[in-house]
Amino acid sequence: MANLAQELSESLAGIVEKNGNGIVRVEARNGPPASGVVFSADGVIVTTSHAVECEDGIEVGLPDGSTVSATLTGHDQATDLAVLKVNASGLSALEWGELDRLKVGHLVVALARPGRTTRAALGIVGALGPEWRAPTGGKLDRYLQADVQMHPGYSGGALVDLNGKVLGLQSAGLMRRHSVAIPGSNVRRVVKSILEHGTVKRGFLGVGVYPVPLPEPLAKQVNQSHGALVLSVQPGSAADKAGLVQGDVLISLDGNAVGHPGELAALLDEEKVGREITAKVGRAGQLQELKITVGSRA
């Protein structure tokens, strides 16, 4: 038993030592530094969006102890990801793994660099679910939460398995009082989009909305208590072209209920851009359907 414990201890120390070379410190806010992960050896760093409060004066602490300036390439608040670029040599990019064989109860290690040295915390996979929409509106391929204590500065660091592969990026900005890991598949997709376009495409209707209770007859008809009152329609936007007008109440979009602005934002992901979808609208107390071709915010 003692030998097994010693072997596991040595294995964990090896994982921390090896992968620690791909973890950096990110100083881009008024407060404690966060962490980041070396995405590619040419200087691409990925971290959490909420940890980057400024665009100028960003500094990154490297594993060799040096500190270099960084530029913000782009960020996506919906998935709480930001991409930085540094001019440095000798960086070690971490290897990303998949969640296919991951199970609740598997051991994982959280790696961070809020100071000059690598820090680590051991835990288990506490929750693993299907596709999940964060309160910020971003859609994550899986819901992944580890039973790891998130000390200050751990957000933006890596969650790795016992093979040393990164399962996701630890984020304290997607949920209140809970940290979740942004899956590697999401990270790779967002980084690719930001490097190519400077942003992540999102669906855009061109409306300003406010949550309102539905009239009782309409609420019973659609089996829904609230909708989103259209306060404004941007001229020439997708909503304007579809015939939405001020005073309409948006009830559902593509078969999904819309009760407040957050739900509307969550439904307008990049997959909807360019698609024609059906919107159910309350107008003068009557239910109507409109066809809308979703535009793009990017």
Q: What confidence tens digit (pLDDT) does each residue in 157-189 have? A: 999 999 999 999 999 989 877 889 999 999 999
* Position 156 pLDDT exceeds 90: yes
Tokens of 218: 């309409």
Domain boundary among 86, 120, 139: 86
Measure the CA angle with vertex 223, ends 218 and 227; round to 5°: 60
Query: What is the DSSP-derived secondary structure letter of residue 89?
Result: S
Q: Do 79 and 190 touch, CB atoms closer than 8 A?
A: yes
Q: If pLDDT is split at 50, 70 and 90, which confidence band does 197 have?
A: confident
Q: What is the pTM of this model?
A: 0.80
The answer to whether position 159 is within a domain reads yes
The answer to whether position 96 is within a domain reads no
- Compute CA distances 210 → 18, 29, 235, 263, 286, whole Å: 50, 32, 19, 11, 19
- Compute CA distances 24 → 19, 20, 92, 93, 250, whole Å: 11, 8, 11, 11, 45
Q: Which residues, 6+ apart, have CB-to-CB distance to 262 below 8 Å? A: 135, 137
User: 186 and 122 share a domain?
Assistant: yes
pLDDT for the residue numbered 1: 63
Query: What is the DSSP-derived secondary structure letter of residue 175?
Result: E
- The CATH number of whichever domain residue 147 belongs to comes to 2.40.10.10
**In sequence order, what are the beta bridge partners of 124?**
107
Number of compact structural domains in the chain: 3
DSSP labels, 220-286: HHHT-SEEEEEEEE-TTSHHHHHT--TT-EEEEETTEE--SHHHHHHH--GGGTT-EEEEEEEETTE
The answer to whether position 145 is within a domain reads yes
Query: Active-site residue numbers?
Result: 50, 80, 155
**Average pLDDT of the residues in 194-199:** 90
Give the burial class of 65: count Cβ atoms within 10 A of its Cβ; 0-12 exposed, 13-18 middle, 19 or more buried: exposed
Domain boundary among 51, 86, 121: 86
pLDDT for the residue numbered 183: 97
Domain boundary among 26, 56, 86: 86
Q: Do 254 and 277 touch, CB atoms closer than 8 A?
A: yes
Q: By C-alpha distance, which of 149, 161, 118, 163 is closest to 24?
A: 118
User: 68 and 19 share a domain?
Assistant: yes
* Position 102 pLDDT exceeds 80: yes
pLDDT for the residue numbered 235: 95
* Position 24 pLDDT exceeds 90: yes
- C-alpha 22/C-alpha 16 separation (Å) is 10
Integer-rounded Cα Rg, in Å, for the chain is 22
The answer to whether position 19 is within a domain reads yes
- C-alpha 124/C-alpha 146 separation (Å) is 6
Of 62-66, 220-224, 231-235, 259-263, the least confident: 259-263
User: 73 and 141 share a domain?
Assistant: no
Amino acid at site 4: L
The answer to whether position 198 is within a domain reads no
- C-alpha 115/C-alpha 33 separation (Å) is 8
Q: Which domain holds residue 72?
A: 2-86
Tokens of 35: 């962490």
pLDDT for the residue numbered 5: 81
- C-alpha 75/C-alpha 88 separation (Å) is 21
